[in-house]
Structure 1
């Protein structure tokens, strides 16, 4: 049975297989594609809409229990690349 987590962007509950786990490294949010990074994690759907909503709400900092604005550009870039690759595969 798959574990269920809540997306910090849209707040919908999904199986972890449908989400990306992110961790904080200093003031940067880093995606962990295989979920292997240690420490407190935040889960987000692999969609730019959810990532941008999480950034706008400062939801990553809330999930990590930090009181600073975090740089989530690495997560945004990771999701953008993933979406582009999926679109490319669909056109083939």
Structure 2
């Protein structure tokens, strides 16, 4: 779970998660364009490294069809993170 919070702590990775939550199953090119539209001017390689961090945290899964790789957000990991934060909030109350 620590890897999830570290991944979500980066503004670019959080923007990637938000974009995949809005429209799941995107290519790296589509994600790059969406980040540019949000004001994050990064190279394709930099975005790929951020996606790799999200993948390592279990937030994003990749599927390949021919030469196309599709990025898919896994909401179960986000639900687990939400439950952990909710538990911490309950402890504070």
Please indicate the TM-score interval, normalised by the length of the shorter structure.
0.3 to 0.5
In our comparison, the structure showing a higher alpha carbon Rg is: 2
The structure with more strand, counted as a fraction of residues: 1
Q: Which has the higher helix share?
A: 2
Calculate the TM-score normalised by the size of structure 2. 0.33
TM (norm. structure 1) is 0.34
